[in-house]
Structure 1
Amino acid sequence: MRMHADQLTVSPGTVRALIDAQFPEWRGLEVRSVVSEGTVNAIFRVGDRLAARFPLQPGDADGTRRWLRAEAEAGRELAGRTRFRTPEPVALGEPGVGYPLPWSVQTWVPGVVATEEDPGESEAFARDLAELIRDLRAVGTRGRTFAGQGRGGDLKSHDAWMETCFRNSEGLLDVPGLRRLWDFLRSLPREAEDVMNHGDLIPGNVLVAGGRLAGILDVGGFGPADPALDLVSAWHLLEPGPRRVLRDELGCDDLTWERGRAWAFQQAMGLVWYYADSNRAMSRMGRRTLDRVLAG
């Protein structure tokens, strides 16, 4: 089922043809579709060490190329800065027969995503997650600030989107209660300077092995933002005990912690209704996060 009304279709045959035409050195490598709950890219393994990513929504080719180059630069900046494995950029593909946009190739990072191996009860995982967040922040912004798009800046700038979410969640969720919570969370003041964040620490972007953090995916959004942004992981990934461990490990003050809760709430509200039919695993993740947010 399509997740977006204008979603592009990408088949293994199309990927095979694009790779053979543009990267003949990989003609002997097997191409396999990757089953994923991701909502932005169709992903294909190329051999054992590479992954090709194809944006699912149509757009301007030049704009998509700039976006993919920015993602690659973010991946290069993060590479080697944490002990946890991250994908690294390898190549940029161009539009071709069967696919109208640029696409990217990066290293394949092995592991099991947290949607399949739930680390929520693991305090050791929570400590790993705290280490990762400290590693990301330690990279330093080099004077850069939040770019002004998506999550990570002013909570109130998401009011229009949240209103859309509330309207579309009627019949699915307790909308009056959720509106009251947003009225409180959106007004939390921003005091701390930007730090480097992954920007999307949800279960599908986290790799787990034996209850421990093994790596992270989708690092193209790595950049400066609200220090509370990566704290969404506390509600997306952790049950109460490990969540307290994460907070203690990071030494979060009350305001920063509540702003992290606010960003998790903002993200989860969009997941429940938007993917209710087209990506039920993502919708269920949103509901679970909302339950954790509401529990405090």
Structure 2
Amino acid sequence: MSFEFSRRKALVLGGGAVLGTLAGAGTASAASEWFRLPVITANIGRDNLTAREDAIRDVRNGDATRPLVGWQEINEGDTGEPAMIDKHFGSLYQNAFLRHDTAFRVPISIPRPWVVVDSQATFVHGGIEGVTPPRWITEVTVRHESHTALRFTMINTHYIANAYNGARNPNLRDEWDLLKSIHKERVLAHHRQGRLVIWTADTNNPDYRKATGWDAEKQVFTAGIDRINWMPGDGTVRLELLNTRSIDMRVDGHDARVAIFRIRLA
């Protein structure tokens, strides 16, 4: 099914026009070679604002292969970070949601050879003055520019703090639990279409395990609050974890995390 991006979707993708063709799950295709796929979850934070640009540069250089990045706390109580991301994640990137009207705090940076073919921002809950901004889930579905059947979805989000960490305030758990519920729904919506899902998040819960609770969902990290997980699809696309590392952000109390995958058509 062919489609055209509306003005709104062009805005979601940062103003870049992207064209693509959606394919149904399980589309028959010849196996491809393996492609290196680094994925980073990076909370910029607000404790040391002068360190932000160096941190963004270090995330861009987090792997020799251009990484896919799920960001958190972009323009959250401060300004200037979109320009920094534009500077270090340049023409070889699509920075989806970076200047979105509402979901701009959790953008996703997608490098070539990956092409965004669909995107969605899902509202979770409103802001609480002095406690939290509104929370959103962002997602992009991408394909390889040379192997159009090689597709996956990347989801990114940021859970409310101090519900299950920090102050552990039970009055904030309705908001945290709601995001967990909608996060699960979004992962499973793509899984049911046969699509591989990779997600990044600042979960603000050191005991976090899986968005879905399903055995099929795989964890890259099992400690800390910054997580990268994946849920296999129908087997058309194969993903393997090769290595992990962290990046010293120097802005907040937790570093960016890197998962080095490889991916191919099965």
TM-score (structure 2 length as normaliser): 0.31
Higher relative contact order, chain-length normalized (CA < 8 Å, sep 6+): 2
Q: Indicate the structure (1 or 2) with the bigger Cα radius of gyration.
A: 1
TM-score (structure 1 length as normaliser): 0.29
Structure holding more strand per residue: 2
